[in-house]
Amino acid sequence: MATKLSVNVNKVATLRNSRGGREPNVLDAVGVCLAAGVPGITVHPRADERHIRRSDVLDIAALLKVHADVEYNIEGDPRPDWVELVQLVKPTQATLVPVRPGEITSEAGWPASADLRQTVRAIKACGTRVSVFIDATLPAVEWAAGQGADRIELYTEPYARAFAESREQAVRVFEQHVACAERAHALGLAINAGHDLDLENLVLYRTLPQLAEVSIGHAIMSRALFVGLERVVREYLDVLIV
């Protein structure tokens, strides 16, 4: 099974919003990704709209209508306006991500005390696949299965930090992710992953059993500043061809 790449275009919107106006244009960035052959696009419209806005979500949805083979993944916390937006757009996938006050980016997966079952049912009812963002622990996998999710997204920042320290530490953390992936697969859950994956640490991580999709944004956009977005997307697609 080939692992799909979903490019997160949040950072393009962050740069646009820092100045105002329309440039860099998020739709242009999506177009470049599509031209490079990417099979998925991810956005995370936060309540404060500090990067992706509701209008971006709708504009991308309209563009992807003529690209039926490209998956659209909308991330977010299950606040009412986000759920309504997902129900309106009916993307391929909705990824439920916890949000902590004041965070710059996602910092952890859902706690096992969270009850997302009603939200999961509401989203699945409109034909959208549901993934939940979790830490790489077996209890979290069991919790996700109990919520009725279709997939989990393993939070990979701890793996990325370990990889930056040493190969030994990376392998140790990666083995925890392997155990979670194997348990998730046994429970009927598909496996996604994301957060701080890059061209180097992805080489090991792509071997995760049953890895369906990786969502990558920051590393792609950072490198794209120097060598161009289309080239970087193609580099990541090449890495995922095992």
Which residues belong to the active site?
44, 75, 195
Q: Which residues contact 78 (CB under 8 A, 6 or more apart)?
A: 96, 116, 119
Distance CA 109, CA 54 (A): 24
Joined tokens for residue 201: 């640490």
Quick one: which H or E segment has residue 27? helix 26-35
Q: Give the position of tokens 């957060």.
A: 195
Percent of the chain as helix, strand, coil, to the nearest 5: 45, 15, 35
What sign results for the dihedral spanned by CA atoms 174, 150, 107, 24? positive
Quick one: which H or E segment has residue 94? strand 93-96
Joined tokens for residue 120: 């999961």
Beta bridge mates, 134: 154
Query: How would DSSP label each residue in 119-180?
Result: HHHHHHTTT-EEEEEE-S-HHHHHHHHHTT-SEEEEE-HHHHHHHHH-HHHHHHHHHHHHHH
Joined tokens for residue 46: 């936060």
